Amino acid sequence: MLYKIDQDIAVQLKNIPELDPGFIPVEAYIRAFEKTAKKRIVIAVIGNEDMTCRYEARVCGTPDMEAADNAYVEVIVKFLLWSRGGNQIAICGDDRIATHIRKIYGPGGKRSFDYSFMSRVYEKEVQVLSLMLDSVPEEKEAARNIGRHLSGCRIGFDAGGSDRKVSAVINGVSVYSEEVVWFPKTEENPDYHYDEILKAFQTAASKMPRVDAIGVSSAGIYIGNKTMIASLFLKVPEDRFDEKIKNIYERAARQIGEKIPLVVANDGDVTALAGSMSLNANCILGIAMGTSQAVGYIDCNGRITGWLNELAFAPVDLQAEAPMDEWSMDYGVGCKYFSQDAVIRLAQKAGLEVKEDLSIADKLKAIQDLMEMDDPRAASIFRSIGVYLGQTIPMYDRFYKIEHILLMGRVTSGKGGTVIVETAKSVMKEEYPDVYEKLNLSLPDEKSRRVGQSIAAASLPPIEGEMI
C-alpha cells in the first residue's frame, strides 16, 4: 500500500495491520525521507556531564522542503529524547531547523509535555542549542554493571500497572512467586501504594529464613532509589509526592530490615536484564508489554547505559488518526501499540465486546481466553500487534545496537504472544531483510514471561562479599 506523507515523501508498505490499515510506521517514513535528503546535520541530546548521544542526519535544506525537514527532525529529536533522555537538544548545521525545534520544545509548545517531563527529571529547563557542524558535542556514555547477584535470600518485586509480582529467591532459585491485582494508576492515596508494596515484601520475607537483599523493578525514573517520576503514581497529588512517594520503596524496605541492601531500577532495564540472564547474551533489548510499554537495554558488554529507554512515549505511528496517549496527550506513541491498551483498543475494531466493568487486566484476560480457543477475532488483534512490532523493531535497531530482542509482559502470555512474534518476524523478513537477518526475536518460557522480571529484580543489590 502507498501512503503519501506530503507531496514529496511517500511510504510503500507490503504489510499493514489488518485492524489498523492507516498505520504509517516511523522507520518506513525515515527511510523514504532519507533517500532524497543530502544536507548533513547532527542532532545531539545531552543528559548530564557524563552522557551525550549524537545522530548523523540528512535533510533537504531547501526552502520548498522546510516543512518536511522540520517534521523529519521532530521525529528524530523525539525518539532521541525518550530513548536517551536529556535536557539539552543541539541542532548542529541548520539554524532554521533549530529555531523550529526551540519553538515546539518550550512551555505551551507542541512538545510541552516532553519539555516539562525532561525538565523535571534533570531538574533543569530543556534548552535547544543551534551549533555549527564544527562544534558538535563529543559523544559520552555512562554505562554501568547491574544485577546478576544470586547469593543469599532475596526479595524481587515487580511493580506493574495492573498487577504486582513478588518472588522469594534463595541462591538464584525462586522458592515462591505470586501475582496480585492492584490499581496503582487510579489511586490517589499514597498510603494505598505503600501498604500494597509492604504487603508484598512481607509475604516474600515469610517464605525465607531471612532477607539479605531487596530488588525492585518499577515503572518510572529512579535516581538513588528515589522516585523522580512514574506513571504508577500518576493520581497522587503533587504536594504529597515528595513526602510519601519519593522514598516509598526505602520506607517499605526498612520495615523488613533496617540495614537490608535495596536497589530500585526502571522496569525496562530489569526486563532487559532478565532477558540477558535468560539467554546468557548481551546486546539485548527487552520489551515488556503490560499496562504500558517498558523497554530496557543491556549493551554488548552486559551493562545498562544510563539511557532513559522510555519508548512508551517514543513515536511509532505517523497517521493523522493515530490513538492519543492520555498522559502525554501525544498521538501514535509506543504505549498505545505495545500494551494492554493496544489489545483492548483493537478488540473494538475486531468486533469483540468486552464488559466495561472489568479491570484492564481482566479485559485482557477475557480476550486472551478467546485467543486460547482460537477465536479468529482475537487472533486478528495479536496479528495486528505483530505487524506493529515488525514495522517498529527496525526503527529501534536504528538507535540501538541489537542482537537479541526478548518480549515479556502480560500481553505476550499464551498463544497471543506466539502470534505476535511469528507475525513480526514475517514482516521483518519481507520488508526489512537487513534487520531480520542480524537479530533474534524471542519469548521466554511461560513462567519466566510472567514472573521472570521479579526474579531478575531480586538480583539487583550486591550483598557483602559480592562484586558490584
DSSP string, 331-362: BSBGGGTSSHHHHHHHHHHHT----TTS-HHH
**Averaged pLDDT for residues 18-40:** 94
For residue 163, give Cα distances in angstroms to 228, 440, 455.
Answer: 21, 29, 15
Instruction: Report pLDDT for 266.
Output: 86
Percent of the chain with pLDDT over 70: 96
DSSP state of 323: P
pLDDT digits (tens, 9 = 90+) for 283-337: 999 898 988 898 999 999 998 888 889 999 999 999 989 999 988 999 999 999 9
pLDDT digits (tens, 9 = 90+) for 204-216: 999 999 999 999 9
Instruction: Report pLDDT for 17.
Output: 97
pLDDT digits (tens, 9 = 90+) for 152-201: 999 999 998 888 999 999 998 899 999 998 999 889 999 999 999 999 99
273 closest CA partner among 150, 147, 120: 147
**Phi, psi angles (nearest 5°) of residue 239:** -75, -10
Distance from C-alpha of 214 to C-alpha of 211, rounded to nearest angstrom? 8
Instruction: Report pLDDT for 224.
Output: 84
Residue 446 scores a pLDDT above 80: no
Query: Does 204 or 120 have the greater pLDDT score?
Result: 204
Q: Which residues, 6 or more positions from 65, have their beta carbon under 8 angstroms from its beta carbon?
A: 8, 59
Going from N- to C-terminal start, the domains of the chain cover: 37-135, 143-468
**Grid cell digits, residue 251:** 520506607
Instruction: Report pLDDT for 201.
Output: 97
Instruction: Report pLDDT for 1.
Output: 60
Across the chain, mean pLDDT equals: 91
Residue 30 scores a pLDDT above 60: yes
Q: What is the CATH number of domain 143-468?
A: 3.30.420.40
Instruction: Report pLDDT for 411.
Output: 95
The band of 468, judged by pLDDT with boundaries at 50, 70 and 90, is low
pLDDT digits (tens, 9 = 90+) for 216-275: 998 888 888 989 888 899 899 988 998 999 999 999 999 999 999 999 988 888 888 888
pLDDT digits (tens, 9 = 90+) for 411-426: 999 999 999 999 999 9
> How do 173-181 and 163-170 pair as beta strands?
antiparallel
Instruction: Report pLDDT for 306.
Output: 81
Distance from C-alpha of 429 to C-alpha of 460, rounded to nearest angstrom? 36
The band of 451, judged by pLDDT with boundaries at 50, 70 and 90, is very low
Average the pLDDT over each of 208-212, 279-283, 453-457 and give the range with the smallest value.
453-457
Query: Does 21 or 271 have the greater pLDDT score?
Result: 21
The pTM assigned to this predicted structure is 0.86
**Phi, psi angles (nearest 5°) of residue 304:** -85, 155
Q: Which residues, 6 or more positions from 340, have their beta carbon under 8 angstroms from its beta carbon?
A: 162, 289, 290, 291, 360, 361, 363, 364, 410, 411
pLDDT digits (tens, 9 = 90+) for 33-46: 998 899 999 999 99
DSSP state of 243: I
